[in-house]
Amino acid sequence: MNSFDAIDRSIMRILQDRGRISNAELAERVGLSPSACSRRLDILEKSGTISGYHARLSHAALDYKMMVIVHISLSGQFAKTLTEFEAAVKLCPNVLVCYLMSGEYDYILRVAAKDLADYERIHRDWLSALPHVVKINSGFALREIIDKPNVGL
C-alpha cells in the first residue's frame, strides 16, 4: 500500500507526534467517525505501514551518554556470512541500529555505551566476537545534532 489519501496521511502525521492519542480524538481531528477511523488504522497496521507504537526513551537519562558509530567489514558478502553476522548482531543489547551498506564497509552500527570503559567491554565481548568480522572502525559522537524518529509526510 503506497498510495495514501489525505486522511491516511493525516492519521499517520498525528500518530507520529502523538502515538497515545485516543481513537475518538484521532477520528475527530481527521474528520471521520470513530469506527471509520478504526478501520483505517486497522488497514494501516495490517499493511505494515504502521509498524508499532513505542515509547522513546532518553539514552542519557538511562546513563548511556556515549554514542558510537561503528563501521564493520566482513570476510566476504556471501549469503551465509551475512545471515550469520546479522543473526549474531541482533543479540547485541547495545546495538541500536545496524545497516547493511554498499561502499567501503559492509555494515554500519549505532552503539550506546555508558562511557569509554563500557564501550571497550562492548567491543571486546560483543563486536569482536561477531562472526566473520575482519575490521572494526569506531567513531565517537561528540554531540547529537538531530535524531528524528519520524519521516516527513
Domains of the chain are: 6-46 (1.10.10.10), 66-140 (3.30.70.920)
Distance between CA atoms of residues 112 and 71, nearest Å: 14
List the grid coordinates of 7.
486522511
Predicted confidence (pLDDT) per residue in 51-101, tens digit: 999 888 899 899 999 999 999 999 999 999 999 999 999 999 999 999 999
Q: What is the pTM of this model?
A: 0.82
Collapsed DSSP state (helix, strand, coil) of residue 145: coil
Predicted confidence (pLDDT) per residue in 117-127, tens digit: 999 999 999 99
- 3-state SS record for 36-73: HHHHHHHHHHHCCCCCCCCCCCCCCCCCCCEEEEEEEE
